[in-house]
Amino acid sequence: MRAIDCGIKLNYYSIEPISLHNSFLLSEEELLFFRKHLHDDISKLSLQLKLTQREKEILWRISRRQKIEKKLPSFYNHIEIYYPESISLEQCSSEATALFKSSLFSGYCVLDLSAGMGVDGLFFSRHFQRTLLVEPNRSLAEITAHNLKLLAPDATVFIEKGKTAAAFLESFSTRVDLIYVDPSRRDDTGKKVFKLQDCEPNVIDLMPQFLNLTNDVLIKTSPLLDITSVCESVRFVKKCLYFIGK
């Protein structure tokens, strides 16, 4: 167990500091191969070459990198970034929206209960001295920890790997300056949902716990939500902000 001090009191959790994952790093020879094919048509290249399994994996990384050039320029510009499955790339925040959200708050400690690829966490870490992330998908959490260590090596960022927001909050009692959550808008079958109570985590159910830990909660929602009904369900809403971006 590792110690985390959010400035108010010391508690112990299974949350870990972000760190590099050796299996995601490329050797010098692999980096040469990576750079050689950075701008190639990967689908065609995969058919033309007699590739080793490792070369196929590297081409897979290049193909994902090519898809996020405009959405995630910081990730795109770092060659050692490791990419998750396409669904995570599609659902993650763009850097433009992360920049906007992170500009709204600052302080000592922020708790992001829906880390995903860590795009929001990366930008929050520029405004908070401590950034705590929670990601229920352990494999994605490993990737996120690796990438954030590359992109923010000097930031103090911790990540809880493999726990849901609800499970994490059962044992978390340290007050923070901000809780941020971007609920997943897909159910267990992959079908899209829109009501906050149908998303994961369920912020309606967790709101009392949120308010025991912080005065400020920032929730990213679907543009299709009925704002009036959301305000009635969540209560204590101070602002509804609109930002349209990819």
Q: What is the pLDDT of residues 17-43, one digit of tens each?
A: 999 999 999 999 999 999 999 999 998
Count of beta carbons in the 10 Å neighbourhood of residue 241 = 9
DSSP state of 79: T
* Residues linked to residue 133 through DSSP beta bridges, in sequence order: 112, 159
Token pair 């997943």: residue: 184
| 204 phi-psi bin (left φ>0, alpha ψ -120 to 50, beta other) | alpha
Q: Is the pLDDT of residue 180 over 80?
A: yes
> Mean pLDDT over residues 185-195, rounded?
62
Q: How far apart are CA 65 and CA 42, in angstroms?
A: 11
Q: How confident is the model at residue 238 (pLDDT cuts 50, 70, 90)?
A: low
H or E stretch at 53: helix 53-67
Closest CA to 122 of 206, 40, 18: 18
- What is the total residue count of the chain? 246
Distance CA 37, CA 204 (A): 47
- What is the C-alpha to C-alpha distance for residues 131 and 109, in angstroms, rounded to an integer? 6
pLDDT tens string 221-230: 776 666 777 6
List phi, psi (to 5°) of 120.
-65, -40
Question: Is the CB of residue 175 less than 8 Å from the CB of residue 10?
Answer: no
Task: List domains and CATH numbers for the chain.
Answer: 2-19+93-234 (3.40.50.150), 26-79 (no CATH)
Average pLDDT over the chain, rounded to an integer? 87
Q: Enumerate residues 6+ apart whose C-beta is below 8 A from 100.
A: 243, 245
Task: Check if the beta carbon of residue 84 is closer than 8 Å to that of residue 143.
Answer: yes
CA distances to 80, 219, 223 from 175, rounded to whole Å, are: 35, 18, 30
Q: What Å distances lie between residue 172 and 11, 34, 115, 176, CA to CA?
A: 8, 42, 17, 11
Q: In the prediction, which pLDDT does 9 show?
A: 46
Helix 203-213 vs helix 227-234: angle between axes, to the nearest 10 degrees?
Answer: 50
Mean pLDDT of 94-109: 95
Q: What is the pLDDT at residue 246? A: 47
Confidence check: pLDDT of 8 > 60: no
Torsion angle (degrees, nearest 10) of CA 162, 77, 149, 113: -40
Give the strand order in the sheet containing 16-17: 16-17, 157-161, 128-135, 107-112, 178-181, 217-219
